[in-house]
Amino acid sequence: MTDDLRMGAIARSWSPPEAGLLAVKAGADMLLVLGTPNNYRGIVDAVKKAVLAGEIPEKRLDKSVRRILNLKKKAELLTMPLQAEIRNP
């Protein structure tokens, strides 16, 4: 999990979308962006574009989701049974 992608130390060098892409490419499973939805929409769009362009494999994001859900399950944070539909692109 990253620190807030809009904090000064990060924002001095990269825009939030650039920082988000770098973090995902470096292996971060969760990106922290504080504030309103407007603060993270550009990051989501940038990651989507990178996946569609083949810069980030969709399987990479799938693995992140699995790790996050497994940790939530271990911590008993899931209130519903864990079921996921696996899509083949």
pTM (predicted TM-score): 0.81
Residue 81 lies in a domain: no
For tokens 């989507």, name the residue.
Answer: 48
Residue 4 burial (10 A CB sphere; 0-12, 13-18, 19+)? middle
For tokens 């810069």, name the residue.
Answer: 55
Which percentage of the chain shows pLDDT scores above 90?
71
Q: Convert the pLDDT of each residue in 6-30 to its tens digit.
A: 999 999 999 999 999 999 999 999 9
Residue 2 lies in a domain: no
CA angle in degrees (0–180, nearest 5) for 12-13-16: 85
Residue 82 lies in a domain: no
Residue 57 lies in a domain: yes
* Domains of the chain: total: 1
Predicted confidence at residue 80, as pLDDT, reads 66
Residue 83 lies in a domain: no
Per the structure, the complete domain to which residue 57 belongs is given by: 8-74
Residue 1 lies in a domain: no
- Write out the H or E segment, with its range, that includes residue 76: none
Residue 86 lies in a domain: no
Q: Using CA atoms, how far apart are residues 4 and 19, in angstroms rounded to an integer? A: 10
For tokens 């911590």, name the residue.
Answer: 75
